[in-house]
Amino acid sequence: MRGVEVDKTATIDWSVSIDPARGKITIGPDSSLDRGVILRAYGGSITIGSDCTVNPYSLLYGGGGLKIGNGVRIAAHTVIVPSNHIYSDPEKYIYSQGESKQGITIEDDVWIGAGVRILDGIVIGKGSVIGAGSVVTKSTEPYSIVVGVPARQISTRLRS
């Protein structure tokens, strides 16, 4: 399929939906996409590194660019959206005001819990853990443990 590169060692369930939609999707070596995962580039890009897992029914968009490092674990029902509607002019319909597209980067060795939402403009620092159900609206420091709505750091994986 044009716009899609999948390493020969990657595992993709038959029910996964991959749509480059005028963009590009790359899936690295030894990565796995489980049942019902949806990847939609929407004119942007989705890059998944090596040894990553995306678990059932997760939705990953690429409009503003989504880069996922190596060894990342994404639990079921996660939604990652690297774009946002502009809505500053109340005199115009929101859909006619365009979108911001800052992108999202998820660095290496990150664990994203079930049902997490990650919004545009975020960098998830290396080694971070994002607790189940969190809504990430701000970037995280490396090795942080982040939970809540909106997500906030409660601890670190580093020893003091």
Chain-centroid distance, C-alpha 57: 13
Catalytic residue (one of 22, 35, 85, 92): 85
Contact yes or no for 59/95 (Cβ under 8 A): no
Examine the residue annotation and report whether 85 is marked as an active-site residue of this protein: yes
Instruction: Choose among 7, 52, 13: nearest CA to 25.
Output: 7
Q: How many residues are there in the chain?
A: 160
Contact yes or no for 146/131 (Cβ under 8 A): yes
Q: Could you identify the residue written with the tokens 């664990």? A: 111
Which residues are identified as catalytic?
Answer: 85
